[in-house]
């Protein structure tokens, strides 16, 4: 970045600035029109009401939709979203870190192939992978079938439509997102640092906790963000693996929009979800800054 | 440097691979299952595959998906590549804001992008559900990915290469066409590939912007699963997995994932 910025181009500064516009304006304009403007409209609509014909009315703007979203019956949906996304994030890092470390350190010449294998599920459809878990976890599914045929259980265990199945499905779905940034940060780390710590009589555990972990913290934070953000906005897994009784805020938004057609209320819920995501994101980035300053 | 291998770590990694692949293997096995209900193994059959090609709804959904993907690839690759290139090479007032604008779609949950475009088109055009609208939505969430990939590649290029071409009399367009473009082409290709994967797989954003005539494959699969009509879903899933695996294998053989040995940085001149 510095080379590009510092490279002197004194001859054609105006021309370069003009060509910057040509490069950047179409994309920025597109995102402004189809990303930023719609978000502002969502915010405006969230203060409106639904009129008799079902259309959005801004005649009596107010906070009614937000007050409605804060009612006690919606609290579980918000808490579920945070809980599912939070646990999924933690599990993805706990499962993703060892395998990323293993590929980086033991992968040898097969590193790239192993990475491709890890990413293969990511390139196949998320929906299809979630569906695969339905086949496995159903009462008469693969897992219960195996457990019954070896005689461990006599009646099927209801795996599906539980917190367990939702968190399992989400962790499975977003694990590849966690592994990639973890791998990059572990692979980039200088092995000699760990060696130096060991030479100074640090145990393997101490070397990991005081050297490897702080150095790879940026990868951990990136993995957390890449898992948390899609997880908190996901309604597919809670719907397919959680069943009708599992509510998350994204599921409520989806139902409000696709059956209720109450756009102002749905917008308020969506906006709250967005705020929740941004708070999570900034909390993660703050952790990163503290860890890198304090740990280094 | 030699290091002692931790057998526990290797065992853990093996387990993780089993975890990652077990569902996909189950899916493939069950695509050859006689049972309509899909949960009990009743015997081997190949029947579901030919039936896919007689399923008009499914073929329609596939055609919509592919048309949307083409729109998304063209739009996101052009806009994203220019954006990435501009941000990498030119500092201008407001470039910080532009970089933030690129990151925002990536940290916004898909469902928010979905509902905001639904309301945008509904309120402004009183119309919803066209293939064009889905295409616009896909371009919007794919631009950032292309821009970031191309920007990373462009940052590794030496700006003096293009200057040298210009000093040798190439026009701005000529030096772009013959110097810069070939150098960033792999990144543009990677961006286009990622756009295809994201567009082909997207359910959440699409479901808010699709209408009666514009159901994509993921929407079709989702409603099939929800309403329990699933005998062919395993077969189509198996085909998708096979195509993806094949594409990745070919890309790997062609060296697409090899770390940049052809990286062009004129370090020698420094």
Looking at residue A119, its pLDDT comes to 85
Q: Do B105 and A281 touch (CB under 8 A)?
A: no
Mutation target among B78, B84, B88, B90 for the A interface, most CBs of A within 10 A: B90
Taking the Cβ of residue B29 and every Cβ of chain A, the question of whether any pair is shorter than 8 Å is answered with: no
pLDDT at B178 (0 to 100): 85
Kindly tell me the sign of the dihedral angle through the C-alpha atoms of B33, B37, B39, B42. Answer: negative
Give the whole-angstrom CA distance, residue B267 versus residue B269: 5
* Average pLDDT over every residue of B162-180: 81
- pLDDT for the residue A146: 86
What DSSP line would sit under chain A, residue for residue?
Answer: -HHHHHS---S-HHHHHHHHHHHHHHHHHHHIIIIIHHHHHHHHHTTSEE-TTS-EE-SS--SHHHHHHTSGGGHHHHHHHHHHHHHHHHHHHHHHHHHHHHHHHH-GGGHHHHHHHHHHHHHS-HHHHHHHHHHHHSTTSHHHHHHHHTTS-SS----TTSHHHHHHHHHHHHHHHHHHHHHHHHHHS-HHHHHHHHHTT--HHHHIIIIIHHHTHHHHHHHHHHHHHHHHT--HHHHHTT-TT---HHHHHHHIIIII--HHHHHHHHHHHHHHHHHHHHHHHHHHHHHHHHH-
B250 touches chain A (CB under 8 A): no
How much is the pLDDT for A296? 37
Decide if B92 touches A, using CB distance below 8 A: yes
B225 pLDDT exceeds 80? yes
Looking at the domain assignment, is residue A215 inside a domain?
yes
Using CB atoms within 10 A of its CB, is residue B246 exposed (0-12), middle (13-18) or buried (19+)? exposed
Q: B262 falls in which pLDDT band (50, 70, 90)?
A: very low
Confidence at residue B128, expressed as pLDDT on a 0 to 100 scale: 75
Least confident of A271-285, B81-95, B136-150: B81-95
Contacts of A117 in chain B (CB under 8 A): 17, 20
Q: Which residue of A has its CA nearest to B17?
A: A118
Range of the structural domain that residue A130 is part of:
72-295
Residue B231 has pLDDT above 90, yes or no: no
Q: What is the DSSP string of A105-142?
A: HH-GGGHHHHHHHHHHHHHS-HHHHHHHHHHHHSTTSH
A262 and B CB contact within 8 Å: no
Please judge whether B118 and A20 are an interchain contact, meaning their C-beta atoms are less than 8 angstroms apart.
no
The average pLDDT across B110-114 equals 94
Residue B254 forms contact with A (CB below 8 Å): no
Q: Are B153 and B81 in contact (CB under 8 A)?
A: no
Q: Tell me how close the Cα of B58 comes to any Cα of chain A, in angstroms.
A: 15
For chain A, say whether B12 makes contact (Cβ under 8 Å): yes
Residue at A49 is within a domain:
no
Q: Domain with A172 in it: what CATH number? A: 1.10.3720.10
Quick one: pLDDT at residue B95? 73
Contact B120 A27 (CB under 8 A): no
Confidence of residue B265 (pLDDT cuts 50, 70, 90): very low
Question: Do A284 and A214 form a contact (C-beta atoms < 8 A)?
Answer: no
A216 and A186 Cβ atoms separated by less than 8 Å: yes
CB distance A178 to A231 below 8 Å? no
Task: Answer whether A5 sits within 8 Å of B91, measured CB to CB.
Answer: yes
Cα B54 from Cα A134, distance rounded (Å): 26
Query: A106 in a domain, yes or no?
Result: yes
CB distance A24–B98 less than 8 Å?
yes
Domains of chain B in sequence order: 56-253 (1.10.3720.10)
Note the pLDDT of residue A89.
94
Q: Do B90 and A19 touch (CB under 8 A)?
A: yes
Handedness of CA B91, B95, B98, B104 (dihedral sign): positive
Contacts of A19 in chain B (CB under 8 A): 90, 172
Is B237–A125 a contact, with Cβ atoms under 8 angstroms apart?
yes
The half-sphere exposure of A291 on its side-chain side, counting CA atoms within 13 A, is 19
Q: Is residue A30 part of a domain?
A: no
Mean pLDDT value across residues B231-236: 82
Residue A34 C-beta-side C-alpha neighbours within 13 Å: 24
First CA to last CA distance, chain B: 32
User: Chain B: residue nearest A270 by CA?
Assistant: B112
Q: Do A125 and B218 touch (CB under 8 A)?
A: yes
Instruction: Region of A57 please: left (phi>0), alpha (psi -120 to 50) or beta.
Output: beta
Task: State the virtual CA torsion across A271, A272, A273, A274 in degrees, nearest 10.
Answer: 50
Q: Is B229 exposed, middle or buried (0-12, 13-18, 19+ CB in 10 A)?
A: exposed
Residue from the list A135, A195, A236 with its beta carbon closest to the beta carbon of B204:
A236
DSSP class of A50? E
Specify the 3-state DSSP secondary structure of B36.
Answer: coil
Q: Which pLDDT band, with edges at 50, 70 and 90, does B4 fall under?
A: low
Q: Of A26, A38, A142, which has the smallest distance from its Cβ to B82's Cβ?
A: A26
Q: For chain B, state the CA radius of gyration.
A: 23
Q: Hey, how many other C-beta atoms are within 10 angstroms of the C-beta on A190?
A: 10
Partners of A50 in the β-ladder: A56
- Assess if residue A13 is contained within a domain: no
Residue A87 is assigned to a structural domain of this protein: yes
Residue B37 confidence class, pLDDT cut points 50, 70, 90: low
Dist. CA B26–CA A91, nearest whole Å: 23
The beta-strand segments (E) located in chain A are: 49-50, 56-57
Report the mean per-residue pLDDT for chain B. 84
Q: Cβ separation of A136 and B26 shorter than 8 Å? A: yes
Q: What is the pLDDT of residue B219?
A: 93
Contact B13 A99 (CB under 8 A): yes
DSSP code of A155?
S
Burial class of B6 by CB neighbour count within 10 A (0 to 12, 13 to 18, 19+): middle
- The reply to whether A268 touches chain B by the CB within 8 Å rule is no
Does residue A278 lie within any of the structural domains? yes
**pLDDT value for A68:** 87
Q: Which residue has the tokens 């590849």?
A: A176
Q: Do B240 and A128 touch (CB under 8 A)?
A: yes
For residues B232, B237, B238, B240, the Cα torsion angle rounded to the nearest 10 degrees is 130
Q: Residue A227 belongs to what H/E stretch?
A: helix A217-232
Q: H-type helices in B53-109, by residue range?
A: 56-89, 95-107
Structural domain total, chain A: 1
User: Across the A/B interface, how many CB contacts are shorter than 8 Å?
Assistant: 270
Question: Residue A32's pLDDT is what?
Answer: 94
Nearest to B24 among A98, A119, A124 (CB): A124
Predicted local confidence at residue B3, as pLDDT: 55
Give helix B131-155 / helix B56-89 axis angle, nearest 10°: 40
B269 touches chain A (CB under 8 A): no
The answer as to whether A110 is a domain residue is yes
- Residue A22: both structure tokens together: 């040509």
The pLDDT score that the predictor gives to residue A113 is: 87
How confident is chain A (296 residues) per 10-residue block, as mean pLDDT? 45 64 89 95 92 78 87 88 93 95 89 87 85 89 86 87 94 93 91 86 86 90 91 91 89 86 90 88 76 52
3-state secondary structure of B12: helix
Surface of A (181-200) touching B: CB under 8 A? 191, 195
């Amino acid at each position: 970045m510095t080379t590009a910025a510092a490279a002197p181009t004194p001859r054609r500064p105006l021309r370069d600035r003009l060509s910057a516009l040509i490069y950047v304006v179409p994309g920025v304009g597109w995102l402004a029109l189809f990303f930023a403007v719609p978000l502002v409209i969502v915010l405006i609509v969230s203060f409106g009401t639904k009129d008799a014909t079902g259309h959005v009315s801004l005649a009596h703007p107010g906070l009614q939709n937000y007050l409605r979203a804060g009612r006690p019956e919606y609290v579980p949906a918000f808490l579920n979203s945070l809980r599912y996304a939070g646990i999924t994030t933690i599990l993805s890092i706990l499962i993703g870190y060892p395998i990323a470390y293993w590929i980086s350190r033991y992968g040898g010449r097969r590193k790239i192939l192993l990475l491709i294998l890890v990413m293969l599920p990511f390139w196949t459809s998320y929906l299809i992978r979630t569906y695969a878990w339905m086949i496995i976890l159903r009462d008469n599914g693969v897992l219960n079938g195996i457990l019954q045929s070896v005689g461990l259980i006599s009646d099927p265990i209801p795996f599906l439509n539980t917190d367990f199945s939702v968190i399992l499905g989400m962790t499975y779905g977003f694990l590849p997102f966690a592994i990639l940034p973890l791998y990059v940060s572990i692979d980039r780390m200088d092995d000699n640092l760990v060696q130096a710590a060991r030479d100074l009589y640090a145990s393997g555990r101490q070397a990991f906790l005081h050297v490897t972990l702080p150095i790879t913290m940026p990868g951990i934070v990136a993995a957390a963000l890449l898992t948390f953000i899609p997880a908190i906005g996901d309604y597919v897994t809670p719907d397919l693996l959680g069943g009708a009784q599992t509510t998350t805020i994204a599921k409520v938004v989806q139902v409000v929009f696709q059956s209720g057609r109450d756009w102002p209320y749905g917008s308020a819920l969506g906006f709250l979800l967005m705020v929740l995501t941004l708070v999570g994101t900034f909390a993660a980035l703050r952790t990163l800054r503290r860890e890198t300053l304090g740990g280094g | 440097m030699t290091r002692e291998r931790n057998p526990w770590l290797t065992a853990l990694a093996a387990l993780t691979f089993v975890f990652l692949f077990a569902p996909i293997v189950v899916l493939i096995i069950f695509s050859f299952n006689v049972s309509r209900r899909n949960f009990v193994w009743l015997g081997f059959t190949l029947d579901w595959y030919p039936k896919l090609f007689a399923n008009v709804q499914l073929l329609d959904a596939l055609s919509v998906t592919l048309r949307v993907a083409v729109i998304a690839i063209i739009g996101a690759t052009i806009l994203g590549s220019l954006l990435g290139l501009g941000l990498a090479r030119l500092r201008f007032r407001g470039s910080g804001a532009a970089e933030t604008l690129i990151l925002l779609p990536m940290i916004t949950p898909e469902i928010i992008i979905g509902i905001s475009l639904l309301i945008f088109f509904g309120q402004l055009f009183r119309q919803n559900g066209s293939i064009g609208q889905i295409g616009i939505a896909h371009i919007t969430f794919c631009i950032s990915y292309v821009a970031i990939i191309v920007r990373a590649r462009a940052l590794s290029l030496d700006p003096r290469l293009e200057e040298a071409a210009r000093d040798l009399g190439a026009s701005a367009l000529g030096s772009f066409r013959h110097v810069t473009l070939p150098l960033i082409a792999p990144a543009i290709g990677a961006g286009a590939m990622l756009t295809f994967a994201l567009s082909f797989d997207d359910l959440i954003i699409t479901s808010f912007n699709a209408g009666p005539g514009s159901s994509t494959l993921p929407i079709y699969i989702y409603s099939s699963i929800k309403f329990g009509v699933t005998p062919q879903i395993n077969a189509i899933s198996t085909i998708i997995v096979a195509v993806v695996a094949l594409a990745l294998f070919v890309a790997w053989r062609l060296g697409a994932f090899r770390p940049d040995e052809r990286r062009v940085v004129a370090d020698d001149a420094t």
